[in-house]
Amino acid sequence: MEENSNFIKTIIKEDLESGKHDKIVTRFPPEPNGYLHIGHAKSIVINFGLADEFGGKTNLRFDDTNPLKEDQEFVDSIKEDVAWLGYEWDGLFYASDYFEEMYDRAVLLIKKGKAYVDDLSADEIREYRGTLTQPGKESPYRNRSIEENLDLFERMRNGEFGNGEKVLRAKIDMASPNVNLRDPVIYRIAHATHHNTGDKWCIYPMYSFAHPLEDAIEGVTHSLCTTEFEDQRPLYDWVVAECEMPSVPRQIEFGRLNITNTVMSKRKLKQLVEEGYVDGWDDPRLPTVSGLRRRGYTPEAIREFVAAAGVSKGFSTVDAQMLEHFVREDLKLKAPRTMGVLRPLKVVITNYPEGEVEWLDAEINPENPEMGMRKIPFSREIYIEQDDFMENPPKKYFRLFPGNEVRLKHAYFIKCEEVIKDDEGNVVELRCTYDPETKSGSGFTGRKVKGTLHWVDATHALPAEFRLYEPLILEEEGTEDHEGEEKSFLDNVNEKSLEVLEGFIEPNMKEAKAQDKFQFFRHGYFNVDPKHTTEEKLVFNQIVSLKSSFKL
């Protein structure tokens, strides 16, 4: 068990043993301003996983305090993604349901002389706040009377002022070495319609004021967030204490998940979606939960990956190959094996009787014999992969070339006798002969061949589209901070991240449905795309190739 432990579990165990809590409550608090990505999956796995392990509860709470960016579409997608990852929330809450209580707590602060209405502009406030090496300067409005502050705050609520004209600030310490404590803004004016509260409010609480209150209102015991909030912890504790919240949550920070060559910020993902670089939030190239699902990743693989990436305070970037490793592991025993030709080249087997069809037996998954057998047709015309033939092969090329013999998986040896070209000299067809003695499973040992090719029967094959992917972003450092950075990551968008091929698959695939997963012999794992698949044609997304250099 020890290897699965982490510093958060240690804290929780201590809190349960000491009797500080008899039950833990965690929460996953997304802002509904975009779709969830795999970084959020880490937070989900940690929060729900800890509650499951210690018999506690986890709330799904929409942190919807910013009306300008939030939308019902995002609320719906987040619910779908959390459930798909395999978790059930206890309470489903909206921060906006607490606006009245938050307002009351702000009034309490004013009455205690711990908050004031400030008329400085946002720029002036920033300037007055000072820097790490320079103390802040007090606002000329800092010493307004309690009565005046109460009156102004109420008038802010009543809509008497325009956006940005006034804010409410906590009165803490303009000389604090922690800049977050230099009278942070806790309410701002925004005349905007909120997806949940409509036009009821025109003042909205800031994250650093709202979040601790939300946690305390729900009786959250351990409020887990990422390390960029570490410096905010003193403010978090200040808000809970000064607002006299009866329940005291504890904020604990862990390191964000970052993955090589992967953008993982909602702002950037949104930009890729809105500027048309991808086919929606669920584009299979995106690290969104819905994109990974459409690509063919499984909840099991994502959960195992996140667990293996570990929980620590430290900052780390995980190799994208590690995620691929876990999906291969998960699909190895589950995915049926099949054959598909992505770039077809026709082969005519000249000594095979015209009009005859044989139905060959093939295992559905040699690593999992319980999955049984399938039938594949074989006849005079088949397709092989274009790059499984070379007219002038280099040394050690063991596939098909004039005069060479190879094995067709599950079928016979064939030998290349003739190459047919079009007017421009492109190879358009091969004429081969087969040897009936060499039938797969017949025990033939007469001679050996070095290459084994996959193929499909040309008369029975079904057309299919194959979508192959490369990383969408080249050389993304994965070191972006929470606020984002100046340099445009759009410069690194890979123009060859999607390749669409029209090929053929075995006819027994006719019944395949959206989200079914297969291992195509020699090509890797593929998922039936739920968006582009039609009655006429299956569309496959490549999940991962077969080989990996990655070792855990």
Per CB under 6 A, residues contacting ligand ATP are 29-31, 39-40, 42-43, 225-226, 256-257, 264-266, 482
Query: In the complex with ligand ATP, which residue's Cβ is closer, 41 or 109?
Result: 41
Q: Which is nearer to ligand ATP, 256 or 374 (CB)?
A: 256
Quote the CA–CA distance of 88 and 58 in Å, as a whole number. Answer: 8
CA distance 341 to 344: 6
Residue 74 beta carbon to ligand ATP: minimum distance, rounded to whole angstroms: 9
**Do 27 and 21 form a contact (C-beta atoms < 8 A)?**
no
Q: What values do phi and psi take at 253, rounded to 5?
A: -105, 145
Asked about 266 being catalytic, the answer comes back as yes
The one catalytic residue in 9, 31, 157, 415 is 31
Annotated active-site residue in 105, 129, 233, 266 = 266
Q: Is residue 74 within 8 Å of 227, Cβ to Cβ?
A: no
509: nearest Cα among 381, 380, 374, 382: 374
> Distance between CA 242 and CA 483 in Å, rounded?
28
Q: Which residues contact 245 (CB under 8 A, 6 or more apart)?
A: 105, 212, 213, 216, 217
- What whole-number distance in Å separates Cα of residue 401 and Cα of residue 389? 6
Provide the minimum distance between the beta carbon of 31 and ligand ATP in the complex, in angstroms, as a whole number. Answer: 4
For the bound state, the minimum distance from the C-beta of residue 470 to ligand ATP, rounded and expressed in Å, comes to 22
Choice among 57, 105, 182, 256 that is catalytic: 256
Judged by beta carbon, residue 95 or residue 117, the one nearer ligand ATP is: 95
CA–CA separation, 56 and 372 (whole Å) = 42
**Minimal distance in Å, beta carbon 226 to ligand ATP?**
4
Instruction: Give the pairing of strands 452-453 and 358-363.
Output: unpaired
Query: Which position's Cβ is nearest ligand ATP?
Result: 39
**Is 304 one of the annotated active-site residues of the chain?**
no
DSSP strand pairing (452-453 vs 427-435):
unpaired
Neighbours of 179 (CB within 10 A): 15
Residue tagged 């109460």 (tokens): 150
Q: Residues annotated as binding site? A: 31-33, 37-43, 63, 207, 226, 256-257, 264-266
Annotated binding-site residues for ATP read 31-33, 37-43, 226, 256-257, 264-266
Q: How far is the CB of 410 from ligand ATP (least distance, A)?
A: 45
Q: Which residue, 39 or 299, is less far from ligand ATP as judged by CB?
A: 39
Is 256 designated active site?
yes
Nearer to ligand ATP, 270 or 415 (CB): 270
Give the three-state DSSP class for 131.
strand
Look up residue 413 and give its two tokens: 């040896």
Annotated catalytic residues are 31, 256, 266
